[in-house]
Amino acid sequence: MTFAVLQFPASNCDQDALHALRDVLGQSARYVWHKDTSLGETDAVVVPGGFSYGDYLRCGAIARFSPVMQAVQQFAANGGLVLGICNGFQVLCEAGLLPGALIRNRSLQFRCESVHLKSLTTDSPYTNQIPSDKVLRIPIAHGEGCYFADDETLDKLKAKNQILWQYCNAEGEVTEAANPNGSLLNIAGICNERRNVAGLMPHPERACEAILGSADGCLIFRSLIQALQNKVMSKAA
């Protein structure tokens, strides 16, 4: 499968994402510059972490108007799979591709540590390979990762099964103590109603090899690859 990894000024997880996809998971992956108006031939898009455009105004607010994001909007509208990681999640929320917003951590601290994640569903292109009882261990590194949405949006997220990951403890229990940033409902990642666009604050691309302390991030990318392969097979059938 071919992945497009976006690069904005001050993206800093683009290389990790490319490395995970290409070197660890054996996929074809390439960078797409923020000024490009086309994504070229691609099966999925990764919007990586970092501090796009210096996080000026609001995190992701300026990146969402970049030329490449207009192509991503189109790609998503056509059903293409788009995964936003950390700053990429913020960009997708600002772009209106995902509901809600990410605001300053409740603690006001930049949190850089490993967290535990519970996957709430296997019914998505991003979680289909994650065993339902598996607690993922994946790092976070952010100052603005507190997920916020109004009550109506939260109810809809729950009703439509759009909450993909919640912060939990090592036992898989969703507790206040396990919430690193004050996110409502301990939300770490969500998808849109159509389930083709997803975002999460933790960094799966930094947890794809045992030498990094965890390879749990692979499960998210393997899910994505599986979903793309299913797509190809259903087209061929």
* Active site positions, annotated: 86, 203, 205
Q: How far apart are CA 62 and CA 84, in angstroms?
A: 16
Question: Which residues of this chain interact with another protein, rule CB under 8 A?
Answer: 56-58, 61-62, 65-67, 70, 93-94, 100-101, 103-108, 146, 148-150, 182
Pick the closer one to another protein by CB: 28 or 107: 107
Q: Choose between 98 and 224: whose C-beta lies nearer to another protein.
A: 98
Dihedrals φ, ψ of 218, to 5°? Answer: -55, -35
Q: Kindly state the smallest distance separating residue 4's Cβ from another protein, in Å.
A: 19
Q: Residue 223 Cβ, how far from another protein at the closest point, in Å?
A: 28
**Do 5 and 32 touch, CB atoms closer than 8 A?**
yes
Closest CB 35 distance from another protein, rounded Å:
9
First-to-final CA distance of the chain? 18
Query: Which residues of the chain form beta strands (DSSP E)?
Result: 2-7, 28-33, 44-47, 81-85, 101-103, 111-119, 135-142, 146-148, 163-168, 187-191, 197-200
| CA distance linking residue 188 with residue 175, whole number of Å | 13
Least distance to another protein from the beta carbon of 97, Å? 13
Environment class of residue 40 by beta-carbon count within 10 Å: exposed (0-12), middle (13-18) or buried (19+)? exposed
The 8-class DSSP code of residue 37 comes to S
Residue 40 or residue 67: which is nearer to another protein going by CB?
Answer: 67
Shortest distance in whole angstroms from residue 42 CB to another protein: 21
- Cβ proximity to another protein: between 62 and 201 the closer is 62
User: What is the rounded distance in angstroms from the CA atom of residue 27 to the CA atom of residue 139?
Assistant: 23
**Alpha-carbon distances, residue 15 vs 5, 48, 208 (angstroms):** 9, 9, 13
Of the pair 84, 217, the CB lying nearest another protein is at 84
